[in-house]
């Protein structure tokens, strides 16, 4: 809590300063500045979401394959009550959670090392090294992992992994989880690193003085203070994983996630059903954001 108390006044101060400088009509200036992005947000962002929700109620002409404006709840009930789709959504959430946990498990010690143990020089080099993959295209990375994870076979060499260690998970949900964790790792690392850097040394010292071991300090002092950062990082990794469908196509084998079923419906082409499927990730993300908001994620973004 201490860290938050420290920060809050600073933010308010500078906020007041900015507003104070535009003396004659601060409100006018502010709206002038914000109107363009705000309009964009409303029309393009909220507008298209609203459209998506409305078109989920449209129906499809059986033969021409085109949406008509006759309203129906058929798509929604198809998307939300059929066992196959519900289990698919369950699996998608499972993959997103697993990828998020994997990112966290890898990012926590890495970030701790960079923020607390590394020398200043190493720190800079490591941060650059860990951010550098963000410069590489998504597809390049996904296909690289395809080359790594490809299963071996009697009739071919398989990927690097099966060549090197004689085993690979092959294509499927495990491969998808690994690839997603690899893709989104920096998004978990950076918030945790930022959180760790702000963590006052005095707290850790106090904890040690009071006789807590390092594990206990981690559990009772660091983790609660870092929770907002972890929550913020997990929003990135969870939402990016949940919505992904390209990685699934590249390393998924026969695996499918929500995004794939949306794509299928779109290409069918059955836009209303696709729109109905998109309500799933929307609802899941709203719920997830609500939970993470309680964990303080938005205080650190």
155 binds other proteins (CB under 8 A): yes
* CA distance linking residue 267 with residue 249, whole number of Å: 15
Which of these, 138, 176, 162, 155, lies nearest to 255 by C-alpha position? Answer: 176
In the complex with other proteins, the residue whose CB is nearer, 151 or 296, is: 151
The smaller minimum CB distance to other proteins, of residues 85 and 218, is found at 85
Min dist. Cβ of residue 249 to other proteins (A): 8
Q: Compute the distance between CA of residue 177 and CA of residue 105 in angstroms, rounded to an integer.
A: 14
Q: Which of residues 27-86 bind other proteins (CB under 8 A)?
A: 42-43, 46-47, 50-51, 54, 60, 62-67, 69, 78, 82, 84-85
Q: Whose CA is closest to 276, among 286, 268, 267, 266?
A: 266
251 touching other proteins, by CB under 8 A? no
Identify the residue among 157, 200, 286, 301 touching other proteins (CB under 8 A): 157
Cα separation, 63 vs 66, in Å, equals 8
Among 112, 171, 245, 280, binds other proteins (CB under 8 A): 171
Q: Which ranges in 210-270 belong to alpha helices (H)?
A: 214-217, 223-242, 246-251, 258-267
According to CB under 8 A, which residues from 85 to 114 bind other proteins? Answer: 85, 87-88
Residues 260-289 that bind other proteins (CB under 8 A): 260-261, 264-270
Burial track 64-91 (b if 16+ CB lie within 10 A, e otherwise): eeebeeeeeeebbebbbeeeebeebbeb
In contact, 186 and 133? CB cutoff 8 Å: yes
Q: Write out the residues near other proteins by the rule CB under 8 A.
A: 42-43, 46-47, 50-51, 54, 60, 62-67, 69, 78, 82, 84-85, 87-88, 150-151, 153-158, 171, 249, 253-254, 256, 260-261, 264-270
């Amino acid at each position: 809590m201490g860290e938050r108390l420290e920060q809050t006044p600073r933010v308010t101060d500078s906020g007041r300063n900015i507003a104070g400088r535009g003396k004659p009509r601060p409100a006018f200036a502010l709206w002038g500045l914000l109107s363009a992005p705000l309009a964009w947000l409303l029309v393009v962002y909220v507008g298209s979401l609203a459209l998506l929700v409305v078109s989920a109620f449209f129906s499809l002409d059986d033969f021409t394959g085109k949406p008509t404006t006759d309203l129906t709840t058929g798509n929604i009930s198809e998307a939300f009550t059929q066992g196959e789709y519900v289990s698919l959504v369950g699996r998608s959430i499972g993959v997103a959670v697993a990828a998020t946990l994997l990112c966290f498990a890898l990012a926590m010690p890495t970030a701790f090392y960079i923020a607390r143990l590394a020398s200043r020089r190493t720190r800079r080099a490591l941060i650059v090294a860990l951010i550098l993959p963000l410069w590489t295209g998504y597809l390049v990375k996904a296909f690289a992992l395809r080359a790594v994870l490809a299963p071996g076979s009697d009739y071919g060499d398989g990927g690097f992994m099966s060549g090197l260690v004689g085993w690979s998970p092959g294509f499927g949900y495990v491969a998808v989880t690994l690839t997603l964790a690899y893709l989104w790792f920096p998004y978990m690392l950076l918030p945790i690193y930022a959180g760790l850097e702000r963590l006052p040394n005095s707290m850790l010292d106090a904890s040690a003085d009071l006789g807590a071991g390092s594990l206990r300090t981690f559990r009772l002092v660091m983790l609660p203070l870092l929770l907002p950062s972890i929550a913020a990082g997990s929003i990135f990794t969870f939402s990016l994983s949940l919505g992904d469908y390209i990685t699934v196509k590249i390393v998924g084998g026969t695996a499918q996630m929500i995004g794939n079923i949306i794509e299928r419906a779109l290409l069918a082409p059955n836009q209303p059903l696709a729109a109905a499927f998109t309500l799933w990730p929307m609802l899941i993300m709203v719920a997830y954001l609500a939970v993470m908001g309680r964990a303080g994620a938005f205080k650190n973004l």
